[in-house]
């Protein structure tokens, strides 16, 4: 086991932070002030300083570094340490650590190994090209986010998971898929950046969304696009709605409470009609249930960022209906309104939403004081 040398360890840390250490691209030696180096090593005074200076001189003797004196004719007073990147391997071997170059090489090898994994034919070129870009970036010391800069086991696990996701077929809930692919039910949710309500966030899709988008050139942007779902695809609804299924009419408006309608049933319905004049989407489920109590005759749908089931329903509703959205009066609330307009193709208008309102949550309006539209004075 090598004897510990705090001053050489400090030099190794300094070099690792330099451009030469980070990238391996260096046109000149690295110069370090001796006093700064001794301070980094905690060896500024007394015996620890004497030992550190002795270790620096010994390192010079075996060709790791060069010492430059404060005065050319007096080599007893040290001024700078000159370190050549060509001596990187010697320095890191002397302190018993992997050199930055060897770390970059092993990291690059992780991407080389990943490129050889089997992926479906439609994604093969994209996968190999993506792995190669990361390999080159790793060798050059450039960013490989969201992967670790060090060749970690987390990197390896993620690189093994991505081909399995690209090959996933059929529709399954995310926790089931996570158990099958990761051995536990939570990993995919964490990597996909799911919010506390179990829905994938549009703005922050986590590691998996970004990586899948890069690999597939935007054709896959989330687990949802692979059929890996946070919840079954459905719409949460209250109000007058009739579906014709297999030649029979199903009158859901007879239900006094809210109901969940699966996307598959919305799709297979031969006809879908409503007696409501208005469709009102409501961001927060608590407010949705409060308004549902009134049996107002309006068609109410609970949604924040709309899922595929909700969008399918909105697109099948009569175009002549009025479409309104009741959400929080904050940035996210108005962004949901924008997404509803864009994705549904319906001209949604804001209800009880005012920019700059101090208490921006819709519940801050209190209990509804009208039992019919628009529910608040």
Q: Where are the domains of the chain?
A: 6-97, 101-229, 234-365
Are the C-beta atoms of residues 336 and 305 closer than 8 Å to each other?
yes
- As a whole-number percent, the residues of the chain with pLDDT over 70 amount to 95
The answer for residues whose C-beta is within 8 angstroms of residue 173's C-beta and 6 or more apart is 228, 229, 230, 231, 232
Distance separating alpha carbons of residues 367 and 96, to the nearest angstrom: 68
Question: What number is the average pLDDT over the span 206-231?
Answer: 89
How many CA atoms within 13 Å lie on the side-chain side of 313?
29
Question: What number is the average pLDDT over the span 92-109?
Answer: 95
Handedness of CA 67, 8, 93, 17 (dihedral sign): negative
Q: Check residue 162 and report its DSSP letter.
A: H
Contacts 24+ apart (CB under 8 A), 361-367: 361/284, 361/328, 361/330, 362/282, 362/283, 362/284, 362/287, 362/326, 362/327, 362/328, 362/329, 362/333, 363/284, 363/286, 363/287, 367/290
Confidence of residue 226 (pLDDT cuts 50, 70, 90): very high
Confidence of residue 71 (pLDDT cuts 50, 70, 90): confident
Handedness of CA 247, 250, 251, 253 (dihedral sign): negative
Question: What number is the average pLDDT over the span 39-53?
Answer: 94
Is 70 exceeded by the pLDDT of residue 203? no
Cα separations (Å) of 129 from 105, 115, 264? 18, 8, 37
pLDDT at residue 117 in the model: 97
**pLDDT tens profile 258-277:** 999 999 999 999 999 999 99
Q: Check residue 142 and report its DSSP letter.
A: -
Q: Which residue blocks in the chain are alpha helix, DSSP H?
A: 6-17, 19-23, 34-40, 46-61, 88-94, 100-115, 121-139, 153-166, 174-182, 187-191, 206-215, 263-268, 285-292, 308-316, 331-344
SS3 sequence, 233-276? CEEEEECCCEEEECCEEEEHHHCCCCEEEEHHHHHHCCEEECCC
pLDDT at residue 204 in the model: 37
Is 80 exceeded by the pLDDT of residue 34? yes
**pLDDT tens profile 111-166:** 999 999 999 999 999 999 999 999 999 999 999 999 999 999 999 999 999 999 99
pLDDT at residue 75 in the model: 65
Confidence of residue 31 (pLDDT cuts 50, 70, 90): very high
**pLDDT tens profile 281-325:** 999 999 999 999 999 999 999 999 898 899 999 999 999 999 999
What predicted TM-score, i.e. pTM, was given to this entire model? 0.64
Distance separating alpha carbons of residues 350 and 282, to the nearest angstrom: 10
The answer for residues whose C-beta is within 8 angstroms of residue 284's C-beta and 6 or more apart is 304, 327, 328, 361, 362, 363
Is 70 exceeded by the pLDDT of residue 205? no
pLDDT at residue 70 in the model: 81
pLDDT at residue 236 in the model: 96
The residue among 212, 194, 211, 214 whose CA lies nearest residue 203 is 194
Confidence of residue 192 (pLDDT cuts 50, 70, 90): confident
Domain 6-97: which topology?
Arc Repressor Mutant, subunit A (1.10.10)
Q: 234-365: which CATH number, 3.40.1360.10, 3.40.630.10, 2.60.90.10, 3.40.50.300? A: 3.40.1360.10
């Amino acid at each position: 086991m090598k004897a510990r040398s705090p001053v050489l360890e400090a030099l190794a840390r300094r070099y690792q932070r330099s451009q030469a250490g980070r990238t391996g691209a260096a046109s000149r030696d690295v110069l370090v002030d001796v006093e700064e180096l001794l301070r980094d090593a905690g060896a500024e005074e007394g015996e620890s300083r004497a030992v550190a200076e002795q270790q620096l001189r010994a390192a010079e003797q075996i060709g790791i570094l060069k010492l430059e004196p404060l005065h050319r004719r007096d080599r007893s007073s040290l001024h700078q340490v000159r370190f050549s990147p060509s001596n990187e391997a010697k320095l890191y071997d002397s302190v018993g650590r992997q050199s930055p170059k060897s770390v970059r090489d092993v990291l690059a090898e992780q991407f080389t190994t990943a490129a050889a994994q089997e992926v479906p034919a439609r994604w093969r070129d994209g996968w190999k090209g993506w792995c190669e870009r990361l390999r080159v970036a790793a060798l050059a010391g450039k960013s490989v986010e969201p992967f670790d800069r060090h060749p970690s086991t987390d990197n390896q696990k993620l690189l093994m998971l991505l081909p399995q996701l690209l090959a996933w077929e059929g529709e399954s809930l995310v926790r089931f898929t996570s158990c099958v692919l990761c051995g536990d039910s939570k990993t995919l949710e964490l990597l996909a950046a799911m919010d506390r309500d179990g829905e994938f966030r549009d703005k922050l899709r986590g590691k998996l969304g970004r990586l899948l988008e890069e690999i597939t050139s935007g054709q896959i942007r989330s687990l949802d696009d692979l059929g890996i779902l946070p919840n079954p695809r459905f719409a949460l609804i209250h109000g007058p709605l009739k579906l014709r299924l297999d030649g029979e009419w199903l009158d859901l408006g007879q239900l006094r409470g809210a109901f969940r309608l699966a996307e598959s049933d919305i799709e297979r319905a031969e006809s879908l009609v409503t007696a409501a004049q208005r469709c009102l989407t409501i961001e927060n489920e608590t407010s949705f249930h409060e308004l549902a109590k009134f049996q107002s005759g309006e068609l109410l749908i609970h949604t924040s960022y709309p899922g595929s089931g909700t969008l399918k329903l909105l697109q099948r509703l009569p175009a002549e209906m009025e479409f309104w959205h009741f959400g929080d009066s904050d940035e996210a609330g108005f962004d949901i309104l924008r997404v509803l307009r864009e994705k549904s193709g319906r001209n949604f208008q804001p209800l009880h939403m005012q920019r700059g309102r101090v208490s921006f949550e819709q519940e801050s309006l209190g209990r509804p004081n009208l039992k019919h539209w628009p529910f608040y004075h």
